[in-house]
Amino acid sequence: MKVLCENNIRSLSFNNIIQNIQHKYSIGVINDVKNTAKSLNDFQPDLLVLRAENIDSVVKAYCHKNNTKLISVGEEEKGDITFNQATERPLPNLKIIDFKENVDKTDTSVFINHPEFTFLANFLAKNYNVKIYGNVKINHPQYLGEITDVDFYEILNRSKFSVVFSPVNIYDSVLLDTYPIAYHPNQIESCKTFNNLISLADCMDNILEDKSDIVTLKNQILRDNSTTFTISVLERLGFYEEAGEFRQDLEEIQK
């Protein structure tokens, strides 16, 4: 399957599928939408992904003539499937499991990338035995600096507990068998959460690892993730053979 997409598409749904299909199929990028017609003729995609405002009669005519499936991104439903950014959500990426190694898990690691949570990170540094990472500098010896994505997964893999401020990092932690303590405005079933300093202190003071919680969360993730979403999208578009390949991958992970 060949996929052609507009450059810099801001869509969680698009990210959820592209992070999977890029490992298996050819991906072409349209850097200037003025060249869409030429890109279509040169690349001859099976699947085209464009912002709704850039889908015109020429694009629709090409897709109809060449049986090219079309995903539109935006509120207007102009494609075979529409990714509406207003209703999107990030999904777990099962590729994270590739970073899993058999190591001793000892650390409590804190990952902070938003200045609004600096006071919480400072509180953790002053009161608990934690290691803090991220692009928000904390003036404390327990702050160990900025890290790359690979560093993040390697650190998470050897951590027993993680304190995270992003829903995606909850998924990452669980997939690497690290117990997450997560910032979230609402309670999350089977996961310790905090939304202020008091609830954070309560989580840290009662930090008991519960394997049953990890199992429950992991089972939820294995049912609802970027791979299951990709399978659903491909099947809706009629790419049943390609969907079957991802289904086999999913079955291997679930064994």
Dump pLDDT digits (tens) for 152-178. 999 999 999 999 998 889 999 999 999
Tokens of 89: 């959500």
The mean pLDDT value for 244-250 works out to 93
pLDDT (0 to 100) of residue 42? 95
Taking the C-alpha atoms of residue 89 and residue 167, their distance in angstroms, rounded to an integer, is 10
Average pLDDT across the chain, whole number:
91
Q: How confident is the model at residue 188 (pLDDT cuts 50, 70, 90)?
A: low
Structure tokens at 27: 């991906």
Residues 201 and 217: beta-carbon distance below 8 Å? no
pLDDT greater than 70 at residue 181: yes
List, for residues 38-50, the tens digit of each pLDDT value: 999 999 999 999 9
Reported confidence tier of residue 5, pLDDT bands at 50, 70, 90: very high
The Cα–Cα gap between 172 and 184 comes to 16
Q: Average pLDDT in the 96-124 region?
A: 92
Q: Which residues pair with 72 in a beta bridge?
A: 50, 82
Q: What is the DSSP string of 6-61?
A: ETT---HHHHHHHHHHTTTSEEEEES-GGGHHHHHHHH--SEEEEEGGG--HHHHH
Contact present, 160 and 110 (Cβ < 8 Å): no
pLDDT at 167: 82
- What pLDDT is recorded for position 16? 92
Residue 25 has pLDDT above 60, yes or no: yes
Tell me how far apart the alpha carbons of residues 191 and 209 are, in angstroms, rounded to a whole number.
Answer: 11
Domains and CATH numbers, the chain: 2-91+225-254 (3.40.50.2300), 94-218 (3.40.50.2000)
Q: Take residue 33 and report the two structure tokens written for it.
A: 């939408």
Segment 208-234 shows an average pLDDT of 87
Q: Are 166 and 114 in contact (CB under 8 A)?
A: no
DSSP structure class, residue 79: S
pTM, full prediction: 0.84
Mean pLDDT confidence for 107-120: 93
